[in-house]
Amino acid sequence: MELARYAKEVGYDALSAIPPIYFKLPESAIEKYWTEIMDSTDLPFIIYNIPQTTGYNLSVPLLKRLLTNDKLIGVKNSSMPVMDIERFKAVAHEDFIVFNGPDEQYVSGRLIGADGGIGGTYGVMPELFLKAEEFISAGNFSDARKIQHDINDIIIALCSLNGSMYSVIKGVLKLSGINIGSVRGPLEAVTGEDIKKIDDIKNKIDEAIVKYQTI
């Protein structure tokens, strides 16, 4: 609540929060937690649903109850079942926003109802996600599936080296002329022979970008 008020003070447009972690809480406690954050300012609020790290998956009954609060405007949904996106859209009002979280299912998330996406790998290959969006908007689902396949191959490569995926992403960005350093602990940096493999991943991304430029 203190951070929510600070966000309002310094001019943020909206708030977002995961559920409380560490203790396994009943849904009533999670509802109270999110409601108290929403009620602490007049900023709109977006639920961040990421059960693979928090241990809690937003339920439809809880979403329905929270929707009685006008400040709730959306969900960033990072659960892997794409059906969750469709279910959240089905019970919410027309203007309710659902963002696709898992980059590996961007195309399927958009097709089942996501309004857009927020993803960790967009920054290293924005051209591919923008092209995927172009295919979806044009109804070109065949090429949308193909580019998602290539995106997923790249994501697997980003996750294949020692250290954090984010350290690999920062390494690729450095090769692209954007040096934002490495990751902070406890995340691990890429080390040893794996450092040389970052070049291969960047080449894989560049080749995919060229492949779809003319489509």
Active centre residues (catalytic) = 48, 76
Q: How far is the C-alpha of 104 from the C-alpha of 101, rounded, in Å? A: 9
Residues with Cβ within 8 Å of 120's Cβ and at least 6 positions away in sequence, in order, are 103, 165, 166, 169
Answer for the pair 50, 79: CB distance below 8 angstroms, yes or no. Answer: yes
Contact status, residue 119 vs residue 107, Cβ threshold 8 Å = no
* Residue type at 163 in one-letter notation: G
Report the C-alpha gap between 78 and 19 in whole angstroms.
13
Q: Which residue, 103, 80, 85, 89, is CA-closest to 169?
A: 103
Nearest Cα to Cα of residue 147 among 105, 197, 202: 105
Q: What whole-number distance in Å separates Cα of residue 88 and Cα of residue 96?
A: 9
Bond from prior residue into 61 cis (ω within 30 degrees of 0): no
